[in-house]
Amino acid sequence: MKKELRAQSSEELNRLLSEKETALRAVQFKLQSGRVKNTKEKRNIKRAIARILTLLNEKNQK
């Protein structure tokens, strides 16, 4: 996944970032209501968001 992200443009990364943030909100809501069986899903989404933000910051610095 990491290499796939590096190959994407800034626009694609921004689109993916918004999708992940939406998914995170949905998972948080499901966790609050007790409808999630996979509790590690939130952590995985947050890590993906951090990776995307890191790549966006690297691309903006260049």
CA distances from 4 to 13, 41, 48, 49, 58 (A): 11, 20, 12, 14, 15
- The domain in which residue 29 lies consists of 2-61
Number of domains in the chain: 1
Model pLDDT, residue 26: 94
What is the per-residue pLDDT across 3-62, written as a single tens digit (0 to 9) for each?
888 889 999 999 999 999 999 999 999 998 988 788 899 999 999 999 999 999 999 887
Please tell me the distance from the alpha carbon of residue 16 to that of residue 39, in angstroms, as a whole number.
Answer: 22
Please tell me the distance from the alpha carbon of residue 24 to that of residue 26, in angstroms, as a whole number.
Answer: 5
- Of residues 1 and 15, more confidence is placed in 15
pTM of the predicted structure, to 2 decimals: 0.89
CATH of the domain at 57: 1.10.287
Please tell me the distance from the alpha carbon of residue 2 to that of residue 22, in angstroms, as a whole number.
Answer: 20
